Each structure stands twice: as structure tokens, then as C-alpha cells.
Chains A and B, each alone.
Chain A
Amino acid sequence: MTAAAPIIELRDVNKWYGEFHVLKDVTLEVAKGEKVVVCGPSGSGKSTMIRCINRLEEHQSGRIVVDGIALGDDLKAIDAVRRRVGMVFQSFNLFPHLTVLENLTLAPVKVAGIAPKDAQATAMALLERVRIPEQASKFPGQLSGGQQQRVAIARALCLKPAVMLFDEPTSALDPEMVGEVLDVMSSLAAEGMTMICVTHEMAFARAVADTMVFMDEGRVVEIAPPSQFFDSPANERTRRFLGKIIGK
């Protein structure tokens, strides 16, 4: 446990889709600057969990606190949390009718009330950072998948979030484009961003993560630093899962 209060705290979070119990007493703390990689078999509730953190999904019991703001039905609190949390989706979800630059400046101008000129300057700086400034005036449909996902990362960074959530950011990409997206994520991690990534890129996880989280059937089964997680996993199910995906 770190001394400072965690920036994200989930305590005994439960969620049901109708009869189906997706999240079972999920408890997780993320410190400022910590990089957490969440893995687990499909249907284990990883995506649902991180989508609860910015209230794309609502939880039915337990507590979720983001940067001191408790998530509930209070719409103001939800807006405040969304301002602090950036999200990158598996299928990019760029706005196809807007140019890359417009995708980046939309929220700063319309939500945060930043002057269009300043928003554009910030957006261009971010496009430099994800190494595609030359695509600013193109439409998303004209870019490759890897480029689109890098634009999506830049878009999420535009509101200067305190936390970034990545929901399987490389799963929809052609294999040769995975690297460019992971590179951007690694450099973001190196700059000290707090990150929660749902991913099966284990080499990335080993290199970047401070903490590994393994989920199965809606439960957090194991939380451990990567060295321990990969080399001597405590739980039998973690071992079986790792065995399958890295072939140990």
C-alpha cells in the first residue's frame, strides 16, 4: 500500500447484467502514476470493470472513487470523473465525419470551453507525440488501424486526464500495427501517466506494468508485481491461464 490515497479505488464492487453476475466483490486500488495491466480469459469482467471506472457501465453495489470523487447517480460527479479519465477503446470509436484534428479539439472546445486556437495547438502537440501530425486534416477512414488507434489515444489525452483506461487497445489491429500503438503507450507510461490497461500483450505488460491483475469469472483472482506474477504465480487458475497464452 502506498502512503498517499489511491487515485482510483474500487471496493467490493458488484454488477449484474440481469441474472448474470459480471463483477463479484471486485476490490482494487491504483496509486497515482501506477501502471496496472489487467488480464484474464474473455468474459471474466475485465472490460466491464474498467468501463465502470468512468461510468460507461453502472455498478449496483460497492464503492468506486476516482480522484476523491465517489461515483453514483450524481450526474455532476460523473461529468467530473469523465474529465479526469481518458479512455481508449478496442474499436477506436473515432468520429468518422470529423477530421483527425476536429476529433481531438471537439471535447476541449465544447466540454472544457477552451478557445479553439489553444485546443488546436494542444491537439497538434499531441499528434506530434503520437507521431502522426501530418494526418491532422484527414478523416479517420483514410488512416490505417494503427494510426486510428494512435489518434484515439491523442484524443483521450486532449482533456489532460489524470488516468488513462485502455480497453484491449490492440485487439482489433493487424499484427504489424500492434507495435506502433504499444510504443505510444510505453512512452506515455514512461512520462508517469496513471494507466489501467486491459490487454493480452504480455511482453508489454512485463516491461511496463507495476502491477498485474488477473481476473476470472468476475473475480479478481490475483494481484502481484509482474516479476512474481509471471515467474511464480500464486494461484492455480493464473498459472493455467499464463500457460495457455505464453505457452509455459
Chain B
Amino acid sequence: MTTAAAWAKKNLFGSPANTVLTLLGLALLWQVVPPFVGWALIHASWGAGTPESCRQAGGACWTLLAERHRLMLFGLYPYEQHWRPFLAMLLFVALLAISSQRRCWRPWLGALWAAAVVLIGVLMWGGVLGLATVETAQWGGLPLTLVIAVLAIVIAFPMSIVLALGRRSQLPAIKAVSVGYIELVRGLPLVSVLFMASVMFPLFLPEGITIDKALRALVGMTLFTAAYLAEAVRGGLQAIPKGQFEAADALGLGYWQTMRLIILPQALRLVIPPIVNQFITCFKDTSLVTIVGLYDLLAATKASLNDPAWRPFFVEGYLAAALVYFCFCFFMSRYSQWLERELAKGSR
């Protein structure tokens, strides 16, 4: 107890200014924490119920989640088919868990991804194996967010490496194309890229040919993310000393061998923080697909609050959606920190 008191005296009440700040902080906490706990826990209504029962309880209406979570999670997907996006979601999470293990970084992982994507596609889309067809326009909620975010990241990452290498290429044509692409896309807001993908792009297609709306949004997200990632990767390439290229040249390694075996493993390790930054941004930016009429997690949450009876409880709905976003983003952030430590083992 004396150590705690000594610690408090030293760190909280060390000087008059510190004492004032400590007291102010405590007052603020006293203002904020008890009311929040009262609202979120003590007076909250849990489990099944109605908007009426919530109003009588007076606190947070977690009943909203109990009653409306299916709509929030799966959007417009046909109600009796919800087990399909649910399974798809589990598959995604399992796939990510497997991919995050270093000992699984083997060639078969690529095959696993291909198989999983096909399986998820079959589950979501249906039309075979006796599954009813569900158009992508009816997809929604967390599975849609995951499909767009994960596929955009997975496709954009290799694209960005090619773009970054292209931008540093000695060949003028390749360099010009890479620079042009990166600068053009970076000069546009994501919203306009999505609009172009969904509104303008179909105008250029011959009549009668339509490309799926979700696919167009996915392509838009991918193209956008690749341009930003390319610049992060290029930063890593530039940090590699010239001597590494020379040593590879002197040993007779070709361009692609040098890049694949010597330069990229070092460069990518250096730029894990900005790369993961971009992954997180991409994940959250999927909420913008709502402007082209897709119901991602956030849009589905909003839709579930359309019922006037539930609308007063929008705070609870958005808090729940925020928590889901936070879980995924926080996982990515922690994982990147672990990855940096793991890859730095021994080498320095």
C-alpha cells in the first residue's frame, strides 16, 4: 500500500500543476464514467423485447441487437438463407487465421485461397448444388464488407508490387505507365473512383452486357488501394542499399531473381507499417460502397434502423457496428506488430 501511495504522490501529485491536472481528470471521469455505466449496463435492456420495453428501461437498448442483428449482419440477403453468408464469414475468418501463421506460408496456401474463394462464392451466390441463386445486389452486411475488403487487399497487394517495380524500371514505357496509373488514381477521391466504376464504366460497355455491381465496386476498391500500396512498397525499395543490387548482379542473379529473393523480402519487411495502414484504410473504406447502392455492414446497420420504432436507438446500432470494425482493424494492427518482430528475429 505504501508503494502505491508513493507512486501516486510521485506521479499524480508531484507538483501543484500535476495535482490540478489529476483533480481535473478525476472530476472528468466522475462526470463521464458513472452515467455511461448506468446507461450501458445498469439501466440497459437486454435480450428479446420491443422498442416500448426499451423506453421503459431507460438505458441502452441492446434489445435492438437481439431483435435486428440478422438485418445488420446480412443486409438484404434472403432471411431463410442466412446460414450461407454466416458460413462464408466463418470460412473467411478461418482462412485469415491460417494465413497469419508463418509455418503456413507455403505454395499450398495460394491453392487454399483459390479453393476458399470459390467455395465462398458458391455459398454466397448459389445456383448450384440445389442452392437458390442470390444476386450480389442482395448481398449485404459483414460478409459483403469482408468479401470486398479481403479480395481488394489480396489482389491489390501483388498489383502494387508490380506497379512499384514498374515505377523504378529503366524501361521508359513501363515506367510511364506505372507513374501515370499511380498519379491518376491517387489524384482522385475514392468516392469518384467508385462512381466511375458503377455509373460511367457501364456507359462504355456494348448494349446488353452488364457487369455485376459488387464486382465493379470490388474492382474500384482494388485499383484504388493498389495505387496507394505501390507508393508504400516503392518506399521500401528505395531504402535498400545499392550494394545489395550489386552483390546480386555480381553473383549473376537475373532481375526477377534479384527482386524476389533479395530485394523484396527486405523491402517489404521495412514497409509493414505503411502497408498495414493501407490495409486498415481499405477495410474501413468499404463503407463507401453504400454510395453505389451496396449494403455493407454500415449501410445494413443504417437500414436496420429505418423502422421508426427502432430509430431512437441508433447510438446502440452504430456502437455495435463500430465495435465490429474495431475488432478487425485492431487485429490487423496487432498482427502487423507481431509480424515485424517475427521477421526481425535474428537478422539484426
B-binding residues in A (CB < 8 A): 54-56, 79, 82-83, 85-87, 89, 91-97, 106-107, 110-111, 138-139, 141-142, 155-156, 159
Contacts and interface: CB of A to CB of B under 8 A. Distances in A.
Interface stretch (B44-52, B170-178, B260-268, B284-292): B260-268
B212 interface: no
A189 B195 CA distance: 70
Contacts of A89: 243, 246-247, 250
A87 B257 CA distance: 19
A107 B244 contact: no
Interface in B169-205: none
Interface of B: 241, 243-244, 246-247, 249-253, 257, 261-262, 265-266, 269, 346-348
B251 A139 contact: no
Contacts of A79: 252
B250 A111 contact: no
B47 to A, nearest CB: 54
Contacts of A56: 246, 249-250
A93 B347 contact: no
B243 A111 contact: no
Contacts of B269: 97
Given A93-B244, A93-B247, 16 more contacts: A54-B250, A89-B247, A91-B243, A92-B243, A93-B243, A93-B246, A96-B347, A97-B269, A97-B347, A106-B253, A107-B252, A111-B251, A139-B347, A141-B348, A159-B251, A159-B252
Contacts of A107: 251-253
Contacts of A97: 265-266, 269, 347
A107 B257 CA distance: 10
Classify the interface of chain B: helix, strand, loop or mixed: helix
Contact of B346 (A83, A94, A95, A142): A142
A225 to B, nearest CB: 29
A28 to B, nearest CB: 20
A60 B262 CA distance: 29
Given A95-B262, A96-B347, A97-B269, A111 B252 contact: yes
5 contacts: A56-B246, A82-B249, A82-B252, A93-B241, A141-B348
Given A96-B348, A142-B346, A155 B251 contact: yes
A111 B253 contact: yes
Nearest to B343: A97
A141 B246 CA distance: 19
Top 3 nearest A-B pairs (CB, nearest first) are: A93-B247, A93-B243, A107-B251
A82 B251 contact: yes
B253 A110 contact: yes
A97 B236 CA distance: 14
Pick the most buried of B244, B251, B253, B265: most chain A CB atoms within 10 A of its CB: B251
B348 A94 contact: no
Nearest to B345: A139
A142 B344 CA distance: 12
Nearest to A152: B247
Given A110-B257, A142-B346, A94 B247 contact: yes
A111 B249 CA distance: 11
A86 B250 CA distance: 7
A94 B348 CA distance: 13
A83 B252 contact: yes
Contacts of B250: 54, 56, 82, 85-87, 89, 156
B347 A141 contact: yes
A141 B345 CA distance: 11
Nearest to A88: B250
A35 to B, nearest CB: 20
Nearest to B266: A97
A97 to B, nearest CB: 5
Contacts of B257: 110-111
Contacts of A155: 251
A89 B252 CA distance: 15
Nearest to A110: B257
Contacts of B348: 96, 139, 141
A106 B347 contact: no
A224 to B, nearest CB: 29
A236 to B, nearest CB: 35
A83 to B, nearest CB: 5
A147 B121 CA distance: 54
A86 to B, nearest CB: 8
A110 B347 contact: no
B254 to A, nearest CB: 8
A141 B344 CA distance: 11
